[in-house]
């Protein structure tokens, strides 16, 4: 079942066409990632989906509701979504427990506070002041505030910016656990490895247009792209591209009568494909 349906979405700021006729469908229970350079239009799309920005044209349905609508139905709809912004500020003199408990009062059907604290891995920090949390712990609190309302749909904007590698991977486990419990997640990120590790599907956006929507493994024909086989022959490293790397490796193995020195078989990475699609360097 699709939770988000977008047809011919358009948004301009004066002469700048930020979003140019975007079509998008996001299924229940998936992690869907938006990829694109700065200024590509992904933030505008997400803000329209969240109801924070109006559109110029097109139709948008999020959980069966038009985010641009107002009134009582809008308030009920907001009870069903969670939002984790890239940058957020809260009272630093409150504890983790106090903050999450306070935010739970904004929702009609919140999750249990202790359950959320456990889910985001902050049990040992629940009595700590927010201002004393590390960056990774602070981001976990942001997610706690995003899920305390028991959302069906969670928006994550650059959730691991500034994290060290260990903290990022720990955070990825948290996101995967949320999806495992049925939460649909819309993720924007600049990290290609993050999209590859988390997303069921990705959409590459550039200059207000969605260039392709696919799984990370199949984006841009990645799964069927020529493989590069490299090996060492004496003092020289050689390489060859092949549509049938298995056959080439078999020939090399026969040539070397066994083990092929420093053998490496690789296909284009997600980053290789992404950069080729947007025609520039990764930001």
Kindly give, in sequence order, each residue whose CB lies less than 8 Å from that of residue 258, ignoring residues fewer than 6 positions away. none
- pLDDT tops 80 at residue 74: yes
| Chain centroid, CA 74 distance in Å | 25
Q: How far apart are CA 272 and CA 139, in angstroms?
A: 29
Give the torsion sign (CA, 50, 197, 30, 151): negative
- Euclidean distance between CA atoms 53 and 41, whole angstroms: 13
Q: Model confidence over 126-144: pLDDT tens digits?
A: 999 999 998 888 888 988 8
Every domain of the chain and the residues it spans: 2-220, 226-266
- Whether the Cβ atoms of residue 60 and residue 49 lie closer than 8 Å to each other: yes
Query: Whole-prediction pTM value?
Result: 0.84
Task: Quote the CA–CA distance of 2 and 82 in Å, as a whole number.
Answer: 17
pLDDT above 70 for 280? no
Query: Under CATH, domain 2-220 is a member of which superfamily?
Result: P-loop containing nucleotide triphosphate hydrolases (3.40.50.300)
- Per-residue pLDDT tens digits for 29-48: 999 999 998 889 999 999 99
Lowest-confidence region among 87-96, 106-115, 191-200: 87-96
Model confidence at 251: pLDDT above 60: yes
Q: In what side-by-side order are the strands of the sheet with 31-35?
A: 81-84, 153-157, 184-188, 31-35, 201-206, 209-214
Average per-residue pLDDT for the chain = 90
Mean pLDDT of all residues in 80-105: 85
d(CA 82, CA 143): 9
First to last CA, the chain: 34
90 has pLDDT over 80:
no
pLDDT digits (tens, 9 = 90+) for 258-272: 999 999 998 888 988
Q: What is the pLDDT of residue 1?
A: 83
């Amino acid at each position: 079942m699709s939770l988000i349906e977008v047809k011919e979405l358009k948004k301009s700021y004066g002469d700048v066409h930020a979003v140019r006729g975007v079509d998008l469908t996001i299924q229940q229970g998936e992690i869907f990632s938006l990829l694109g350079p700065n200024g590509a239009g992904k933030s505008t799309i997400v803000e329209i989906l969240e109801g924070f920005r109006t559109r110029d044209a097109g139709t948008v349905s999020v959980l069966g509701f038009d985010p641009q609508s107002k009134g009582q139905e809008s308030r009920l709809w907001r009870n069903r979504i969670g939002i984790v912004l890239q940058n957020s500020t809260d009272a630093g003199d409150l504890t983790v427990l106090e903050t999450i408990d306070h935010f739970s009062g904004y929702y009609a059907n919140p999750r249990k506070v202790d359950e959320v604290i456990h889910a985001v891995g902050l049990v040992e920090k629940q009595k700590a002041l927010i201002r004393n949390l590390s960056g990774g712990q602070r981001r976990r609190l942001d997610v706690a505030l995003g899920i305390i309302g028991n959302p069906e749909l969670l928006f994550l904007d650059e959730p691991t910016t500034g994290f060290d590698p260990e903290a990022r991977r720990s955070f990825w486990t948290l996101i995967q656990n949320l999806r495992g419990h049925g939460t649909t997640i819309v993720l924007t990120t600049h990290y290609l490895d993050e999209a590859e590790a988390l997303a069921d599907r990705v959409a590459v956006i550039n200059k207000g247009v969605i260039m392709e929507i696919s799984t990370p493994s199949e984006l841009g024909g990645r799964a069927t792209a020529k493989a590069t086989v490299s090996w060492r022959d004496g003092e020289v490293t050689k390489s060859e591209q092949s549509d049938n790397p298995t056959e080439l490796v078999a020939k090399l193995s026969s040539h070397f009568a066994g083990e092929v020195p420093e053998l490496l078989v690789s296909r284009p990475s997600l980053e290789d494909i992404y950069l080729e699609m947007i025609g520039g360097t990764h930001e």
